[in-house]
Amino acid sequence: MAVTLPEGNLETRLSRYLEGFNNRHGIEDSLVEGDLVLVVVKPDDVPAVLTTAREALGILHLSFITVVDRQGSFELTYELLDLRGAQVRVRTTIEGEEPVIGSVTGIYPTANWHEREAYDMFGVAFKGHPDLRRLYMWQDHFDHHPLLKSFEISTRRTFEGLR
Amino acid sequence: MLSEERRTEGTALTQPASGRLANPDIRDEFGLETIDMNMGPQHPAMHGLLRLILELDGETVVRCDPVMGYLHRSKEKISENRMYPAVIPITDRIDYMNNMAMEYGYCLAVEKLLDVEIPPRADAIRALMNEFSRIMSHIPSLGFLLLELGAFTPILYAFRERERIQSIMEAVTGARMMFHYIRLGGVKADLPEGMPETMWEYIEGLESHLQPDFIDLIEGNEIFIARTRGVGKITPEKAVEMGLTGVPLRCTGVEFDVRKHYPYGWYKNLDFDVVTDQAGDVEASYRCRIGEVRQSIRMIKQILENLPEGEVMGDTGRRIRPTEGDGIARVESARGEYAVHVVSDGSDTPYRVHYRTPCTVNMQLLQEIVPGHYLPDIMPIMGLIDPVSGAWDK
């Protein structure tokens, strides 16, 4: 088989991944818990960190990208799997109302539609994306990014006062 | 709205026409051009609402640009406006062919943030119903593939099986499609009396007519082989690069199954094989699906043989308020890796829910592998990916 999947014990792999990130980049915070390695990095470092993950550490699969609107900042989570039991989570926070971050499509081609979705729903601009169009919403005459907390829906409900 | 300087290129409605011809040497003499064509959103053979913008050179596709969103129901926004247990029926409607896995993924993600112990019987029943749901999805998808190739008979057998499983599901859950059966902390209700025996009887029957009705009828058929062998060929490197999961990945020979490599719930106790194939084309995906149905039968038998006794619902408390933080869980749905990311701020409603549906990711493959194929080959390739409209559009 042409695809090389990682081998060996889960704990050694997790520590190898964490060490690999620590040696090459300035990691703000990190955590190892169960089958998970979580690293918190600066937004500018994200493409470099993911390049390390793909090229040096051999983590093959980008599962998804989640954007969370923290009202004033945006939290991005890149979930990577090595397909053999370990999860690697790269987290970053972009300050401000107009988020811009480097695209990772050159490293993980599957990120193409994940980034298009994030752009569509949150207006996150991915620098260097080859084809940054909306994925779900219509292209013309629609200037909103619906998953932002500032996008109000008419049937907003609160559950205060319920017991 | 993005300010002007933050807009990158690519704000056009579709990708620009490439204008490149499949056989430029021959075509140039006659001054031929490519033509653009829309396939869908309403197309009799399409698996739901999908529009493909195709650029054709004669009958050869040179560019394929999928346009999605015709069935977008903003599941993620709705989920932010509902209490935690009330999101479960929403997840049901994401992948309406394999609902049980959708509920399971969401419940696992929220349970990571809840302090609740799942009773073993509930875990076993969850896995049992998931495997039934997988059979209920895999067998009709084979039927659809054959229907699109012009064979009408297999879909009748496929829907016979689906109907029978739906009757079992109805007896257990009370609904035929939108089950709302897996709840936070367990399952809605225990199996009715006599149900394990009924399930066993059905599963034995399915095992005995899988060979005549699905394999003998289809596998040796000359038309089926001509239309599927070598069509939609994917290499393992390409498959991994594109982030494929599920059958499209396994039919290229890469062994990855969430149930095996990231085990959850009762799957830790089960003995099963990951079905792979080397060819990586439509025919290989058909063989993989049949193999997975066999593995599901094997798992259902194991679960029924050792069904633990006891409660089916853990104690979650009256008002469900998960602790602050992230809950990420993934399950193997019939189409691949389905992951749910729940962000909680400690209130009654989720702060953010993200669904990673396998269809959305696997559909990127269309852009990559359809160019170079003939127009009628698109339908078998859709059968390889086996997307569901509700799941790719969310």
Mean pLDDT estimate for chain B: 86
State both tokens at A123.
């207006």
Tell me if chain A has a CB within 8 Å of the CB of B2: yes
What is the distance between the alpha carbons of residues B252 and B271, in angstroms, rounded to a whole number?
23
What is the distance between the alpha carbons of residues B1 and B7, in angstroms, rounded to a whole number?
10
Residues 6+ apart with CB under 8 A from A49: A21, A25, A39, A41, A90
What does the pLDDT read at residue B18? 62
Summarize the confidence of residues A37-46 as an average pLDDT.
90
Summarize the confidence of residues B16-34 as an average pLDDT.
63
Each residue of B206-230: pLDDT tens digit? 988 888 888 888 888 888 888 888 8
What is the distance between the alpha carbons of residues A4 and B255, in angstroms, rounded to a whole number?
11
What does the pLDDT read at residue B1? 44
The residue among B352, B362, B365 with the most chain A CBs within 10 A of its CB, best to mutate, is B352
What does the pLDDT read at residue B223? 86
Q: Which positions 53-82 of B are in contact with A (Cβ < 8 Å)?
A: 68-69, 72, 74, 76-77, 81-82
- Tell me, yes or no, whether A133 lies in a domain: no
Each residue of B114-135: pLDDT tens digit? 888 899 999 999 999 999 999 9
Which residues in B lie closer than 8 A to residue A159 (C-beta atoms)?
A: 83, 347-349
Tally of structural domains, chain A: 1
Rounded to the nearest angstrom, the minimum Cα separation between B345 and chain A is: 11
What is the distance between the alpha carbons of residues B31 and B311, in angstroms, rounded to a whole number?
74
Summarize the confidence of residues A28-49 as an average pLDDT.
88
- Residue in B6, B242, B364 nearest the CB of A125: B6
Rounded to the nearest angstrom, the minimum Cα separation between A108 and chain B is: 6
Summarize the confidence of residues B148-175 as an average pLDDT.
89
What is the distance between the alpha carbons of residues B100 and B177, in angstroms, rounded to a whole number?
9
**Distance of alpha carbon B250 from its chain centroid, rounded?**
14
B75: nearest Cα among B325, B352, B280: B352
Report the chain B residue with the minimal C-alpha distance to residue A161: B348
- What residues pair up with B196 in beta bridges, in sequence order? none
What is the distance between the alpha carbons of residues B14 and B67, in angstroms, rounded to a whole number?
8
Which residues in B lie closer than 8 A to residue A110 (C-beta atoms)?
A: 241-243, 361, 364
A156-160, B209-213, B273-277, B312-316: the lowest-pLDDT one: A156-160
Rounded to the nearest angstrom, the minimum Cα separation between A131 and chain B is: 5
- Residue in A110, A147, A163 nearest the CB of B241: A110
Q: Is residue B31 pLDDT above 80, yes or no? A: no
Summarize the confidence of residues B330-345 as an average pLDDT.
91
Q: Is residue B8 pLDDT above 50, yes or no? A: no
pTM over 0.90: no
- Residue in A3, A79, A123 nearest the CB of B328: A79
Rounded to the nearest angstrom, the minimum Cα separation between B201 and chain A is: 36
Report the chain B residue with the minimal C-alpha distance to residue A89: B328
Residues 6+ apart with CB under 8 A from B84: B110, B184, B320, B321, B322, B348, B349, B350
- Tell me, yes or no, whether A56 lies in a domain: yes
What does the pLDDT read at residue A1? 47
CA distances from B376 to A25, B36, B39, B148, B379 (A): 49, 16, 11, 10, 6
Q: Do B236 and A2 touch (CB under 8 A)?
A: yes
Domains of chain B: 4-67 (no CATH), 75-393 (1.10.645.10)
CB pairs under 8 A between A and B: 132
Structure-derived torsion over alpha carbons of residues A55, A51, B393, B7, reported in degrees to the nearest 10: -150
The residue among B2, B234, B255, B331 with the most chain A CBs within 10 A of its CB, best to mutate, is B2
Q: Do A3 and B240 touch (CB under 8 A)?
A: yes
State the residue for tokens 């983590």: A59
Q: How many helices (H) and strands (E) in chain A?
A: 3, 7
Tell me if chain A has a CB within 8 Å of the CB of B324: no
Residue type, B108: L
Q: Is residue B106 pLDDT above 90, yes or no? A: yes
State the residue for tokens 């993600």: B109
Q: Do B337 and A133 touch (CB under 8 A)?
A: no
Q: Is residue B9 pLDDT above 50, yes or no? A: no
What does the pLDDT read at residue B297? 93
Report the chain A residue with the minimal C-alpha distance to residue B243: A110
The count of residues in chain A is 163
HEC secondary structure over A33-46 = ECCEEEEECCHHHH
What is the distance between the alpha carbons of residues B335 and B351, in angstroms, rounded to a whole number?
27
What does the pLDDT read at residue A76? 92
Task: Let me know: does B55 contact B36? Beta carbons within 8 Å.
Answer: yes
Each residue of B358-367: pLDDT tens digit? 988 998 888 8
Which residues in B lie closer than 8 A to residue A121 (C-beta atoms)?
A: 76
- Tell me, yes or no, whether A158 lies in a domain: no
What does the pLDDT read at residue B13? 47
Each residue of B42-83: pLDDT tens digit? 777 677 788 888 888 878 888 888 888 888 888 898 888 888
What is the distance between the alpha carbons of residues B387 and B393, in angstroms, rounded to a whole number?
10
Q: What percent of chain B has pLDDT over 70?
A: 92
State both tokens at A84.
């053999």
What is the distance between the alpha carbons of residues B394 and B78, in angstroms, rounded to a whole number?
11
Query: What stretches of B203-310 adopt beta strand conformation (E)?
Result: none
Rounded to the nearest angstrom, the minimum Cα separation between A4 and chain B is: 9
Helices B120-148, B153-173: inter-axial angle, 10-degree rounding: 160
B115: nearest Cα among B365, B382, B322: B322
Q: Do A98 and B2 touch (CB under 8 A)?
A: yes
What does the pLDDT read at residue B134? 92
- Tell me, yes or no, whether A77 lies in a domain: yes
Which residues in A lie closer than 8 A to residue B76 (C-beta atoms)?
A: 121, 147
What does the pLDDT read at residue B22? 63
What does the pLDDT read at residue B291? 92
What is the distance between the alpha carbons of residues B179 and B69, in angstroms, rounded to a whole number?
25
ipTM: 0.89
Task: Let me know: does B335 contact B257? Beta carbons within 8 Å.
Answer: no
Residues spanned by the domain of A38: 10-104
B121: nearest Cα among B261, B332, B308: B308
Summarize the confidence of residues A116-139 as an average pLDDT.
86
Each residue of A44-93: pLDDT tens digit? 889 999 998 888 888 889 999 999 998 889 999 999 998 888 899 999 99
State both tokens at A23.
């040696």
Neighbour count for residue A27 (Cβ, 10 Å): 17
Summarize the confidence of residues A113-133 as an average pLDDT.
88
pLDDT range class, residue B10, cuts 50, 70, 90: very low
State the residue for tokens 């990916």: B385
- Tell me, yes or no, whether A154 lies in a domain: no
Q: Tell me the CATH number at A53.
A: 3.30.460.80
What is the distance between the alpha carbons of residues B390 and B394, in angstroms, rounded to a whole number?
6
Residues 6+ apart with CB under 8 A from B19: B33, B34
Q: Do B348 and A162 touch (CB under 8 A)?
A: yes
- Tell me, yes or no, whether A161 lies in a domain: no
Report the chain B residue with the minimal C-alpha distance to residue A154: B81
Report the chain A residue with the minimal C-alpha distance to residue B278: A1
Which residues in A lie closer than 8 A to residue B6 (C-beta atoms)?
A: 98, 100, 125
- Residue in B15, B81, B337 nearest the CB of A131: B15
CA distances from A79 to A39, A66, A115 (A): 11, 8, 13
